[in-house]
Amino acid sequence: MSLTINTNKSAMVALQNLNATSDKLGATQNKIGTGLRISTSKDNSAIWAIAQNQRADIGGLASVKMGLNRAQSIGDVALTAGQSISELLVQMKEKVVAAQDSSLTTVSRKALDADFKSLLSQISQVIRNASFDGADLLDNSLPGGLKFLADAGATSYVTIANQNLSLGATIITLASTSSITSTTLASTALSQLQASIGNVSLALAKMGAQVRQIENHNTFVGKLSDSIEAGIGNLVDADLAKESARLQALQVQQQLGAQALSIANQSPNIILSLFRGGG
């Protein structure tokens, strides 16, 4: 190799190696700092794109889960109200059966009728208060029921059907003006009441099955989201134990590279010895 002061090839090579080591060290420090092996598209464009798409799915599933949580709450409130109505109907049957006793005095019959009408009024009150976040599935304000997103692609839904428990409707056939002031009226009320109790039980069974389906799907969505997140981790997460060992090795290489560059920079000094006079 020729000696020259204009071009120090050894120093250039040493500097290139030092820069390469510094780049690797910076990349390793970034992996340790972020915990990610692939944090930007330049690290690995294909894997990064896959991970981003999966992150978008997780975001979509978070919205689905939020909607399903709301659906559960609406369904739970409706079921609680419906069960209360069923219990009121059972209490009303006691009054209606008692009112068919022809030996009752007028005062006693009026007292039974007052209790009966009070229970009727309570049914209407329960229905009016069976609302969560503005949704009431028992008063026929939502005849089509409620649909909730079931997947991140917004292509499928789960539904809670409306169950109209209003007085005088198809499920509870007792009218709000029903009375048991005579044995004839009591007999009519009993027939309607028995049918209503069965209808309400069936309606609540249907709604309960739908709410259970939503709960199960909500659990599945949560597990699916966790699985996707774990899959993303497998793609992009850094092995911190491995990166820690690599960091130490690169730090040593950086120090040796700096030392090699220092030595290479001293090479031109050899030229000075060629121009020194003899002793």
Query: In this predicted model, what pLDDT tens digit does every residue of 169-185 receive, in sequence order?
Result: 999 999 999 999 999 99
* pLDDT tens for each residue of 44-92: 899 999 999 999 999 999 999 999 999 999 999 999 999 999 999 999 9
The Cα–Cα gap between 199 and 186 comes to 19
Whether residue 20 is predicted with pLDDT greater than 50 in this model: the reply is yes
Q: Is the pLDDT at 114 greater than 80, yes or no? A: yes
Give which of 204, 195, 201, 143 is closest to 174, Cα–Cα. 195
Tell me, what's the pLDDT at 129? 95
Percent of the chain scoring above 90 in pLDDT: 65
Q: Give the mean pLDDT of 231-239.
A: 90
Residue 272 binned pLDDT confidence (cut-offs 50, 70, 90): confident
Tell whether the torsion through CA atoms of 216, 217, 218 and 224 is positive or negative: positive
Q: How many CB atoms lie within 10 A of CB 176?
A: 13
β-pair partners for 146: 160
Instruction: Express each pLDDT in 147-156 by its tens digit.
Output: 999 999 889 9
pLDDT at position 279 is 47
Report CA dihedral (165, 169, 173, 176) to the nearest 10 degrees: 80
pLDDT score for 219: 95
Q: Are 147 and 161 in contact (CB under 8 A)?
A: no
> What is the rounded average pLDDT for all residues in the chain?
90
Residue 7: count of CB within 10 angstroms of its CB:
8
Residue 7 has pLDDT above 80, yes or no: no
pTM for the structure as a whole: 0.77
Q: Give the residue from 182, 180, 178, 155 showing the smallest Cα distance to 168.
A: 178
Q: Is a pLDDT exceeding 90 seen at residue 14?
A: no
The long-range contacts involving 251-259, CB below 8 angstroms and separated by at least 24 positions, are 251/25, 253/21, 254/18, 254/21, 254/22, 254/25, 257/14, 257/17, 257/18, 257/21, 258/18
User: Do 267 and 14 touch, CB atoms closer than 8 A?
Assistant: no
202 or 28: which leads in pLDDT? 202
Using a 10 angstrom Cβ sphere, with 0-12 exposed, 13-18 middle and 19 or more buried, the burial of residue 183 is middle
**Whole-angstrom distance, CA of residue 195 vs CA of residue 178:** 15
Rg (CA), the chain: 40
Contacts of 57 (CB under 8 A, 6+ apart): 152, 228
Confidence at residue 1, expressed as pLDDT on a 0 to 100 scale: 58
Mean pLDDT of 225-248: 90
With 60 as the cut, is the pLDDT of residue 278 above it? no
What confidence category does residue 277 fall into, taking pLDDT thresholds of 50, 70 and 90?
Answer: low
